Chain A
Amino acid sequence: MDAASHLRDIGALLRVEHLVVEHNVHGRPIYAVSDVSFDIASGETLGLVGESGCGKSTLARAVLQLGPVTSGRVLFREQDLTRMSPKQLRLMRRKLQVIFQDPIASLNPRRRIGDIVAEPLIIAGVTDAAQRERNVREVLMAVGLDPDVVVGRRPHEFSGGQCQRISIARALVLEPELIICDEPVTALDVSIRSQILNLLEAMKARYGLTLLFIAHDLAVVKAVSDRVAVMYLGKLAEIGPTERLFLAPLHPYTLTLLRAIPVPDPDVKPPENVPVGEPPSPFAPPSGCRFRTRCPRATDRCASEEPRLRELGPGHYAACHFPLR
């Protein structure tokens, strides 16, 4: 059994094996992603949750080859992205798109919406301007915007929710296979958030997409995911089918996250002091299990021996010596 034992033999669209990302910050190594493996089947949505600093965004960037990878493999359609030349990568990126958290900052304020959405087409070498315009209009309509109204305008004329629709249109215009959504609704108001989540679900069905959906809000992740991976301080703590993971979490950290969600019901009293402390620094992760410094079940064994991911239910894995079930 190792950190990749949960990988499935399914010919996954994306398969990440033993991914390690370490940066040097002022000469000190920071362990952002430490031996993480996961796979996503075609048409599946994998949710990835964790607190800030756990490495989930670094992981997303590493998958897209937007940041350095220290070791490990990122297989997209069984081809290793980490070994590709820039030219090969550029071709491959047509199939891989990304949506970021801040919808306004991710759009160039000086350009018109029509140009912003058409740019991926230009980079991909679609030289026929009329063809580009048709694609742009079609995708804008798909995300619920009126092309006649929006193409000539600039990002500042739109609200956050509309800018996120534009970002989604830009990600969809090349008809990619995989979209990585990095906190796509975190910056949006509650009333707009569900509009965008429903839109992502509709686009997934319409374009046959596969999604890696990163968020820190567990309820949001649950709403869209088939499987969920929980990350803590650069490592996977738990991965499993969505309903099982929420109904019967195995890792104490997952339970901590679930208990911390504020419930909009005044008859449910907020649990007192369930989570303890804050994540330790990724500069000096604890020995053994990285969660042990905050874990109510931790023993000496957790400090000396690192827990491996083990299958404890069908397709449901946790890295814990003393799982909850």
Chain B
Amino acid sequence: MSSGSLLVAKEVCVDLATPRGMLRAVDGVDLTISAGHTIGVVGESGSGKTMLSRAILQLLPRKARLSGRIQFDGFELTKLDRWALRRLRGRSIAGVFQDPMTSLNPVLTVGRQLTETIQEHFGLQNSAAVNRAMELLEAVGIPEPEQRLRQYPHQLSGGMRQRVVIAIALSCEPKLLIADEPTTALDVTVQAQILDLLAREQKRRNMAMILITHDLGIVAGRTDEVAVMYAGRILEHAPTKKLFREMRVPYTQALLAAIPKIDMPPHTTLPVIPGRPPDLARRIHGCAFAERCNRVAERCRIERPPLLAFEEPDHQAACWIPLNVPRRVSS
């Protein structure tokens, strides 16, 4: 898109070798993000959202094969050697993952893990690094940072651990933060606090952020645009308000409808999406959602719908029979 884009991913595919053969976890995804923007990637388990984030971080499992282009801040990530990547990762791109306990090293103190990152990337003296670490812990809302530095991860609650992980991720002032289900393992009250924290730091630092989640409720109020993934592809991509106001793809609509709403009376029969996601080890002809879609037509089972803009250039949908589109734009 524009020249000011921080990250431009084009035609990204990730193939995984499994005992049942090759499985295409990410299938031709394009993604562009500029500084100061937050993009939400929404999908259920197996939709490829995590593999996409791993591809951007160049942290794919060994058995994975990546194709496509990923340009970040002028670098082609797929062509960098591991040392160049190592300097970039952490320093310019940082990640926050679902389970803070496994992201942290259980046998090192919080302080050691924070200063390690700072020293690695900035070459600071020990005392300067410790001061910086305390500032960071304060910034992410951890009380008594001086004491916390001496503690081990198991001595902290889940919410506090995730704050530490965020502090480590922010320690090198990254340009892009990838948060993959950062609050899924946390309680609702803590979830709200962590999402507030991420939003505040993202604005303050003019970072780009990719927020990966299965929860449409989380992306609604906290992202600029949303990409909905299903079976490795983006099915719909639009500015957040537009997407929620006028959903084009039946899957997006069904996903929103399937969330139990707090204003429904008890014992309401909930709208369901019948069936389950397709087996990615098998070749999918046509639209991957066709088998579960209530608007399915013959064409949907034969020919895969491309991700196209309907009416508005920034609202893309991959659907032969999109919703809320009065006339057929192309055929």
Please name all residues of chain B whose beta carbon is closer than 8 Å to the beta carbon of A162 when the two chains form the complex: 276
Contact call B260/A222, Cβ cutoff below 8 A: yes
Do residues A52 and B187 form an inter-chain contact, with CB atoms below 8 A? yes
Most buried by B among A189, A201, A243, A272: A189
A192 and B276 contact, CB distance less than 8 A: yes
B255 A190 Cβ-Cβ under 8 A:
yes
How far, in Å, is B292 (CB) from chain A's closest CB?
Answer: 8
Identify which of B87-95, B97-105, B214-222 touches chain A: B214-222
Return chain B residues, CB-CB under 8 Å to A220.
260
Q: Which residue of B is nearest A191, CB measured?
A: B273
Which of the 9-residue segments A60-68, A118-126, A262-270 touches chain B?
A262-270
Contacts of A51 in B (CB 8 A): 187-190
* Chain B residue nearest in CB terms to A242: B266
B270 in contact with A225 (CB, 8 Å): no
Q: Which residue of B lies closest to A225 (CB)?
A: B266
Q: In the complex the two chains form, what is the Cα distance from A160 to B261 in whole Å?
A: 23
Contact pattern, B 164-179, Cβ under 8 Å of A = 1, otherwise 0: 0000000000000000
What is the bound-complex CA distance between A190 and B196, given in angstroms? 23
Residue A175 lies at the interface, judged by CB distance under 8 Å to chain B: no
**Bound-complex Cα distance A309 to B231 (A):** 50
Are B214 and A216 in contact, CB atoms less than 8 angstroms apart?
no
- Give the distance in Å from the alpha carbon of A14 to the alpha carbon of B159 in the complex: 35
Interface string of B242-256 (1 = CB under 8 A from A): 001000000000111
A273 x B264 contact (CB < 8 A) = no
Q: Is the CB of B244 within 8 A of A265?
A: yes
A266 partner residues in chain B, CB cutoff 8 A: 220-221, 240-241, 244
Cβ contacts under 8 Å, B196 to chain A: 270, 272-273
Select which of A222, A243, A267, A275 is within 8 A of B189 by beta carbon.
A275
B147 contacts partner chain A, Cβ-Cβ < 8 Å: no
B262 within 8 A of A: yes
Q: Are A191 and B258 in contact (CB under 8 A)?
A: yes
- Report Cα–Cα, A96/B258, bound state, in Å: 30
Interface 9-residue window, one of A1-9, A87-95, A108-116, A253-261: A253-261
Residues of A within 8 A of B261 (CB): 219
**Cα(A158)–Cα(B140), bound, Å:** 41
Q: Do residues A261 and B260 form an inter-chain contact, with CB atoms below 8 A?
A: no
**A261 & B188 in contact (Cβ 8 Å cutoff):** yes
Q: Is A19's CB within 8 Å of the partner chain B?
A: no
Q: Is B272 an interface residue (CB 8 A)?
A: yes
Min CB–CB distance A20 → chain B (angstroms): 24
CB A67 to nearest CB in B, in angstroms, measures 22
Task: Please tell me if B269 contacts chain A, counting CB pairs below 8 Å.
Answer: yes
Partner of B188, one of A197, A222, A226, A260: A260
Cα separation A266 to B241 with both chains bound (whole Å): 6
Chain B proximity of A47: nearest CB distance (Å): 9
Given known contacts A263-B221, A275-B193, A243 and B266 CB-to-CB distance under 8 angstroms: yes
Q: Considering the chains assembled together, what is the distance between the CA atoms of A274 and B195 in angstroms?
A: 12
Contact between chains at B218 and A223 (CB < 8 Å): no
Contacts of B240 in A (CB 8 A): 266
Q: Which residues of A contact B220 (CB under 8 A)?
A: 262-266, 268
| Separation of A246 and B190 alpha carbons in the complex (Å) | 20
Q: Which residues of B contact A (CB under 8 A)?
A: 44-45, 157-160, 187-193, 195-196, 214-218, 220-222, 240-241, 244, 254-256, 258-262, 264-274, 276-277
A-B contact pairs, 17 of them (CB 8 A): A51-B187, A52-B158, A189-B44, A190-B44, A190-B215, A191-B273, A193-B260, A194-B273, A197-B260, A219-B262, A224-B266, A260-B192, A261-B262, A265-B220, A272-B196, A274-B192, A275-B193
Given contacts A223-B266, A257-B188, 17 further A-B contacts (CB under 8 A): A51-B187, A189-B44, A190-B216, A192-B276, A194-B271, A194-B273, A195-B273, A197-B260, A223-B268, A225-B266, A259-B192, A260-B191, A262-B215, A262-B217, A262-B220, A266-B244, A270-B192
